Amino acid sequence: MLKKEFRDTLKILLECSSILLAIPLAKILDKLFFHLGWSFRDVFDITFIVILFVFSIFSGIYIFQSEKKDRGFEYLLSLPIKRSKIIFCKIFPRLSILLLLLAVTIIFSIFDTPLQACTTVITLHLSAVFLSLAVDSLIIHFTGIFILFTLFQLFSNFISHFINNLEVFQVTSTAFFGELLSSLILLIPLGISFILSFKNFDLKPLKFHTKPYLFITIPAIVIQILILVLYYNKYI
């Protein structure tokens, strides 16, 4: 099963890597029309970042795509494998390849703040993964990821601003700490909902598997929104 998931993940990466074709196109357009003097490194960095974010989202969204497409949940759930191992086999290949891509960004210094970038990308990926059992519609899935990611950014900025006012940490460490804490606050209830949902997952309609999200994830999100609203003036 683990080999199959690695193959599926590499297939998604290969599809995302087609964006690399934009590099020669961008160079040609710059030479003919824009005349901005883009270097190969500039175009490569931007293209790689796009691939990284696209892969992080789609590899999470399509984690159960083959089961949904081929009605394979019955086969998956009938395997003599613990559900915890199924989750591991699903998440590990995607997360390990994503970490390799992040390692490339660190080696080539693509991001100015690598720790914050890694936190952001991993948060985006896990948000997509944890929502995969809650929704079937791609539009709703993308909307949910966008809402969660926006909330993550706003709350991380709020935490950084709050800690900055305490003058306990340096500015650089404060920004990273804000993103890390915001990521944990967002992903822990979402991850618990995902695990509980998959633990009790069967062939019933989707609405029977969204209770953990309704009673754990949504209240946690509402609390975060209320905190931002209540402290909006100080946050700004």
Q: Is pTM, for the whole model, over 0.85? A: yes
Tell me the one-letter amino acid at 52.
L
Q: Consecutive sets of 10 residues in the chain, 236 residues long: mean pLDDT of each?
A: 86 87 73 68 86 94 79 72 87 94 92 91 95 87 92 88 66 76 94 91 75 92 88 64
Interatomic CA distance for residues 76 and 201, integer angstroms: 11
Is the CB of residue 157 less than 8 Å from the CB of residue 233?
no
Tell me the one-letter amino acid at 38.
W
Where are the domains positioned within the chain? 1-110, 137-236
- Torsion sign (Cα): 104, 110, 116, 120: negative
How is residue 57 written in tokens? Answer: 């989202």
CA distances from 90 to 3, 154, 162, 206 (A): 10, 30, 37, 20
Non-local CB neighbours of 199 within 8 Å, separated by 6+ positions: 83
Helix axes 114-131, 138-166, angle to 10 degrees: 140
